[in-house]
Chains A and B, each alone.
Chain A
Amino acid sequence: MFYNIDKLVLVVLILAVVVLLVDIVLVIYIFHRRLSRNRFFQRKDATRRQLSSTVRNFLAGDIGVDEATEALRSAKSPPAREAVQDMLLDGIGSNNRRAVTEVLMRLGLVAIWAKEAFGARRARQLINHVANGASLPPQGKKSFQGIRSMRLFCVKRARSVALLGQLDGDYAQAFMDEAQHDPSPYVGRANVAAMGQNRESFAVSVLLELLRQAAEGVNGLSVLSVKTALVRYPLTELAQFTHCLSDPNEKFRYLVVDSIREICDNTNLTLSTQDFPPDLYRWFLDQAKHDSSVDVRARSARVIRHFHDTGAVLGLRTLMQDDNEFVRLHAVRSCADPYYTDLVPDVVQRIGDAKWRVREAAVKTLSTFGIEGRTQLANYFLSTPDQYASEQIVDEMQRGGIIGDLLPGLGSDGPESWVVMKVCSKMVRMGKTSLLTELLSREIRMSRLGDAPSAAQIAAMETAQKARTQLLDVLAMSPTPQLMETVQSLARRDRDHLKGKAQTILQSGIEANKSTAVETGGA
């Protein structure tokens, strides 16, 4: 049936032998690789041990560039060179970037990276340009652009570009500019990431242009990649963003505004109008609220909040009234700052917003205003007939731990007790009793105060006990299975001051059940 069984057998036999041989080669390769890697890292570690103190002293500024270069020149083998490279780049910072760059140049590492990234001839021209100030000839037309953009051939280039991007700005700029002409998006991405890490002023305008192209989908880079780099820049670079705010491309405008917001948020400082370029400040206060893009208006609110002046108060108030829910949402979130207490009534108004996201943001914002915010929240909760708003408030009060903070007030003698009682009662009426019941089940014992408690401790303990008693009274208005389980547990605890009360509730429950049974039987 087979055409030629002998030939087939021969083919199968050859294939089987080839497969087995390849298997053997793979085994040898794995062992060889493992052993050679071990040797490589042993040498690298040895270099680290040998030169780490020199590098540490150099990075700290204790020894100069000449001395460091001389000492590090002994690292010639690939593992030793990699160890030096890693140590220097791991310790690079704004204070020593120039010196580290000088050393890397003198050690020839920059030349190696440049050669890997741009080819030998162009690398020589670039090095000559950055080191000696020689003019840089225009880049010739590169052939095989399609092949060069393939991932197979660009990983090494991308890694080298990333390394070159860590050099001092005067050096890095030439390499970064050069890398922009690379056809591979991987190299482009590495270049963008390097710009973000380097934070050199010259790169902001480049990144903004790349962001525009990414928004238009023409440069093979993702919007998020470019934005990740852009938001690493400091506030002092914001002046370069101003002209982009009037760009006709809505998406680009939104990305620019959002990047400004991220930069402001990243500062972790309380900013003021002085921190912003005047033109940018005026644009946000005068024009942002009229922008045709919803996203621009929404994100503008998050920038305006950093102004901390009356203009910002008015701006946020206007944006809180916007027709679009996302603008209102961001405006409300932006008010979560102690400076904007004047806006609390406006935020309270938004608790009744038709959209749940805005309601949620309003409640969260109010809860950040300390006692005033919580009082407003409680008052609104008690007065509103709006079920959705009430649910939102209860949700936030539970998630944020506000209920736990409020409850001790139940045992005080002041008006606070009345408010907390009302809040708890409304929660019980709404059926939101789980947390209250859980808090009720936590036993408070005088014995835990120790042998000689202070008067203040005793008073606090008595207040807490009173609060629990009140809480049980409130919860008993509408007993749930969870509550009855807790009451049964309380009734069994000998040292709990609620034991008697719990037993009474259980007894009345049993009698109520009996009378219901009698009535039902009679009927």
Chain B
Amino acid sequence: MHHFLIQLVWYSNYVLIAYFVLANLGYTILMTLSLYSVSLHATYASRKPYSDMADSPVTPPVALIIAAYNEEETIVQTVLSMLDLNYQEKEVIVVDDGSTDSTVDRLIERFRLQRMDLIYRERLQTGHPLAYYHNPTFPELFVIKVEHGGKSHALNSGINMARSPYFCTVDADSIIESDALLRLMAPVIHATDNVVVSGGIVRIANGCTLRNGRLEGMSLPSSWLERCQIVEYIRTFLFGRPGWSMLNATFIASGCFCLLQREAVIGAGGFGDDTVTEDIDVIAAIRRYMVSEKKQFRVVFTSDPICWTEAPRTMGMLARQRRRWQLGMTQTLWKNRDMIFNPKYGTAGMLSMPFHLLIEVVGCVVEATGLLLILPISLIVIHTPWWIVFLFLLLSIGYGTLLSMGSVVLEEVTLRRYPRLKHVGVLMAYAVIENLGYRQILTFFRAYGVLQSLRGRRKQKWEHIEHTGLNLHQAPARPVEASSR
């Protein structure tokens, strides 16, 4: 029995080492591709390449769809930020998913909305909204109230209400930078392929100052948890997704800020409610639809349109969020398992989806098992020398630090959103700190999400973030001088 246990632990060690090598090899390749793509894009984009698009009638109209549930604290700021975007032709559609707070009342009050009975063409099955609100003096803004049915239902209602050929999903607690929509649309205009999805970067706004829908004071939050998330977001968005985009293999585009072609989404059946992350699911559905229709298409990720959002401030909130994301990814991969290693779906089917399955889904379970079970057994039962374990951990943490530090470098080289050197110093410190516990904790949350998926279908629920991380100011905005740096 003891011999069997030793054998088992040794083989598990091999699995762990293989996972470690495979995962880090994958990340290194992605990092290299991202470094290439992001830095070149930043160099090219540094000389105002979007100015001719801003006032061009050729730039397609976009509907910004904000699905909201109990967002009374932030909804007005979000809508103000959308109306203020530098984009010629846009609609802003707020879909209230039966909020129990005064989300709609705040909008009615701020924009003097009137209740109306408007035409609703149900291209995606949603049922008719309960109420429509509009004010002819804000012709771009429409608010509809629907029966509580989850985020997918709300987004589909927004799609039905929209008229523009493209729509952009935006979370109700998010702030978009003034040129971000234009930058998101740039690949649609410049690509020779049919761009059906264009994703942008999501950054954490905790600690920043918000004035009338605009982020003014860039700063860092005080808590370690939020700071770790900032580094993590930078790494994810600058060191992962651009790489996949280069390979035309984007599998995830954050629904928090994502531009989609309306007809492609309708063709794909809209946002589904059978996974808890409708944004991941819809990309797979669009790929499936476009391939079945034999249409040329491209899913792109652009590294400079930025959307700012609030991140969880407590460990409990973070655990719920990450568990849900992991559960959603697992559900989507399971739902679309026939696409994995299927050459019909190109690089997404052959590279990206297998990578997400093996490294992102199975990997976190392997990692959690290693940390929780194999490591202690190796040390206690088979007496592996502690310094070997220590060296292995050192390498693992060191490599994680390298990835995080690299992403902070990339942020500094390209976007440079934090003006003070002190902020960059703090980010570098947290590029090290987040590898000493934070990432391991996340691994457990994610592994729990995977285990949850084994227990069957979970109902889609709204994720609630307590909005206390932003410094809100409603005072009249003063013009901000654009910095040339």
- B-contacting residues of A (Cβ < 8 Å)? 1, 5, 9, 12-13, 15-16, 19-20, 22-23, 26-27, 29-31, 33-35, 37, 41, 44, 86, 151-152, 155-156, 158-159, 162-163, 185-186, 189-190, 193, 196-197, 214, 217, 220-222, 224-225, 227-229, 231-232, 262, 265-266, 356, 391-392, 394-395, 398-401, 404, 431-435, 437-439, 482
Task: List residues of chain A with CB within 8 A of the CB of B408.
Answer: 26, 30
CB pair A19–B116 under 8 Å, yes or no, is no
Q: Give the distance to chain A from B46, nearest Cβ to Cβ, in Å.
A: 8
10 new A-B contacts, CB < 8 A, other than A22-B402, A398-B118, A431-B117, are: A16-B391, A41-B484, A186-B44, A222-B191, A224-B190, A399-B136, A433-B117, A434-B117, A434-B131, A435-B117
20 contacts between A and B (CB under 8 A): A19-B395, A20-B398, A23-B398, A23-B401, A31-B424, A34-B424, A41-B485, A220-B192, A225-B190, A227-B58, A228-B58, A228-B189, A232-B56, A265-B57, A392-B119, A434-B132, A435-B114, A435-B115, A435-B116, A438-B115
B383 on interface, CB distance cutoff 8 Å: no
CB pair B394–A228 under 8 Å, yes or no, is no
Give Cα A404–Cα B190 distance, bound, in whole angstroms: 43
Q: Give the distance to chain B from A119, nearest Cβ to Cβ, in Å.
A: 20
Question: Which B residues between 380 and 412 are near A, CB-CB below 8 angstroms?
Answer: 387-388, 391-392, 394-395, 398-399, 401-402, 405-406, 408-409, 412
B36 on interface, CB distance cutoff 8 Å: yes
Q: Give the distance to chain A from B195, nearest Cβ to Cβ, in Å.
A: 10
Q: Give the distance to chain B from A211, nearest Cβ to Cβ, in Å.
A: 12
Task: List residues of chain B with CB within 8 A of the CB of A401.
Answer: 136-137
CB pair B190–A33 under 8 Å, yes or no, is no
Give Cα A96–Cα B78 distance, bound, in whole angstroms: 43
Given A222-B192, A435-B116, decide whether A23 and B56 contact each other with a Cβ distance below 8 A.
no
CB pair B401–A19 under 8 Å, yes or no, is yes
Give Cα A217–Cα B194 distance, bound, in whole angstroms: 12
CB pair A266–B405 under 8 Å, yes or no, is no
Chain A interface mostly:
helix
Closest 4 CB pairs of A and B: A401-B136, A19-B398, A432-B117, A434-B115
Give Cα A186–Cα B37 distance, bound, in whole angstroms: 14
Give Cα A225–Cα B131 distance, bound, in whole angstroms: 40
Give Cα A186–Cα B406 distance, bound, in whole angstroms: 27
* Interface pick from B47-55, B99-107, B270-278, B358-366: B47-55
Task: List residues of chain A with CB within 8 A of the CB of B484.
Answer: 41, 44, 86
- A-contacting residues of B (Cβ < 8 Å)? 10, 36, 40, 43-44, 47, 49, 52-53, 56-59, 114-119, 121, 131-132, 134, 136-137, 139, 188-192, 387-388, 391-392, 394-395, 398-399, 401-402, 405-406, 408-409, 412-413, 421, 424, 428, 432, 484-485
Give Cα A155–Cα B139 distance, bound, in whole angstroms: 40
Residue of A nearest to B427 (CB): A30
CB pair B136–A222 under 8 Å, yes or no, is no
Give Cα A434–Cα B129 distance, bound, in whole angstroms: 13
Q: Which of B10, B49, B409 contacts A30 (CB 8 A)?
A: B409
CB pair A19–B52 under 8 Å, yes or no, is no
Give Cα A31–Cα B52 distance, bound, in whole angstroms: 35
Task: List residues of chain A with CB within 8 A of the CB of B409.
Answer: 26, 29-30
Task: List residues of chain B with CB within 8 A of the CB of A266.
Answer: 57
Task: List residues of chain B with CB within 8 A of the CB of A9.
Answer: 387-388, 391
Q: Which of A13, A19, A228, A400 contacts B59 (CB 8 A)?
A: A228
Q: Give the distance to chain A from B354, nearest Cβ to Cβ, in Å.
A: 26
CB pair A26–B115 under 8 Å, yes or no, is no
Given A34-B421, A225-B189, decide whether A1 and B391 contact each other with a Cβ distance below 8 A.
no
Residue of B nearest to A398 (CB): B116
Given A152-B36, A221-B192, A265-B57, decide whether A34 and B391 contact each other with a Cβ distance below 8 A.
no
Give Cα A315–Cα B57 distance, bound, in whole angstroms: 25
CB pair B44–A159 under 8 Å, yes or no, is yes
Residue of B nearest to A224 (CB): B189
CB pair B117–A394 under 8 Å, yes or no, is yes
Task: List residues of chain B with CB within 8 A of the CB of A438.
Answer: 114-115
Task: List residues of chain A with CB within 8 A of the CB of B40.
Answer: 151-152, 155
Q: Give the distance to chain B from A358, nearest Cβ to Cβ, in Å.
A: 14
Residue of A nearest to B484 (CB): A41
CB pair B56–A391 under 8 Å, yes or no, is no
Residue of A nearest to B44 (CB): A155
Most chain B beta-carbon contacts within 10 A, residue among A20, A163, A404: A20
Residue of A nearest to B425 (CB): A31
Q: Give the distance to chain B from A93, nearest Cβ to Cβ, in Å.
A: 15
Give Cα A12–Cα B118 distance, bound, in whole angstroms: 67
Q: Give the distance to chain B from A353, nearest Cβ to Cβ, in Å.
A: 15
Task: List residues of chain B with CB within 8 A of the CB of A197.
Answer: 52
Give Cα A22–Cα B403 distance, bound, in whole angstroms: 11
Task: List residues of chain A with CB within 8 A of the CB of B189.
Answer: 222, 224-225, 228
Most chain B beta-carbon contacts within 10 A, residue among A189, A196, A224, A232: A224
CB pair B10–A193 under 8 Å, yes or no, is no
Give Cα A435–Cα B409 distance, bound, in whole angstroms: 55
Task: List residues of chain A with CB within 8 A of the CB of B402.
Answer: 19, 22-23, 26
CB pair B115–A231 under 8 Å, yes or no, is no
Q: Which of A13, A151, A435 contacts B391 (CB 8 A)?
A: A13
Residue of A nearest to B142 (CB): A399
CB pair A23–B53 under 8 Å, yes or no, is no
Give Cα A350–Cα B52 distance, bound, in whole angstroms: 37
Q: Give the distance to chain B from A146, nearest Cβ to Cβ, in Å.
A: 17
Task: List residues of chain B with CB within 8 A of the CB of A214.
Answer: 192
